[in-house]
Homo-oligomer: A and B are copies of this chain.
Amino acid sequence: MSSSASSVRLRPPGEHRVLGVLGGMGPLATARFYEAVVRATPADHDQLHIPTVIWSDPRIPDRTAAILGGGPSPVPAMVEGARRLEAMGAEILAMPCNTAHAFLPAVRAATGTTWVDMIGATLDRIARTGAERVGILGTRGTRAAGLYDAAAAPRGLDVFYPSDTDQSLLIDDAIGHVKSGRRLLRAERLVAAAAARLHAAGADVLIAACTELPLVLGAASRVVPVVDSLDCLASACVREVATAVV
């Protein structure tokens, strides 16, 4: 199929396609993602916003545990959620969870709908800024699955991570604090310490590659620019639902 066979135009205002969100990984990130979609939508009254269906299922098994070999696969629950969203009329699907993208190929194969890829959307935005060396703040699962590594190379980007010790003592602990809703100031200090080390190691920019982290990025973003993967996914979804291929 040649790309010259189709072209892209903006759909008329109020005729967006329906966005489906496979959420609950975690729940707060899902709420923040939907708010980011609303804020990224050019609309001055309700009726121009994007019809959206959200299936937020916090019972989906832990993604990092599954990648590291210690837990059940989240794929069956993710596929069931995606099919529910399709049954509700979703025409474009997205998952506001970086680690879950390790399972996107399996979920995509079981569904018939277009997915917007959070990893690609985030790296595309960074590639446009001219940055080259990218530090990743994310879960152990996102790192072990090599999600950003695989997608960075074709975009001419070099990605790297905190040391094993920093990952464990700074990032994993900070994510745990956010998920529990407690000790957020401590979490912010931990993330800032990790950001300073990555900046010293040569990072031009960091990716908040876990959707729990943006809540505690304030101090880190005063050390080095931080791109929020949740915002990148939201903007990419708004572009996608507003676009018709004709």
Q: Which residues of A contact B (CB under 8 A)?
A: 14, 24-28, 30-32, 34-35, 38-39, 41, 43-60, 62, 84, 87-89, 179-182
Contacts and interface: CB of A to CB of B under 8 A. Distances in A.
A67 to B, nearest CB: 15
Contact of A45 (B56, B87, B179): B179
A87 B88 CA distance: 9
Which of A25, A43, A48 is the most central at the interface, judged by chain B CB atoms within 10 Å of its CB? A43
Contact of A54 (B41, B48, B56, B89): B56
Contact of A24 (B27, B35, B51, B87): B51
B84 A39 contact: no
A179 B44 contact: yes
Contacts of A49: 24, 26-27, 56, 58
Given A27-B46, A46-B26, A62-B46, A56 B34 contact: yes
Contact of A181 (B27, B39, B54, B62): B39
Given A46-B62, A53-B55, 17 more contacts: A24-B46, A25-B46, A27-B52, A31-B32, A34-B34, A35-B35, A44-B180, A44-B181, A45-B180, A46-B179, A47-B58, A50-B58, A51-B56, A52-B54, A53-B54, A84-B88, A88-B88
Which of A30, A41, A56, A89 is the most central at the interface, judged by chain B CB atoms within 10 Å of its CB? A56
A56 B52 contact: yes
A44 B26 CA distance: 11
Given A34-B30, A39-B181, A180-B45, A55 B24 contact: no
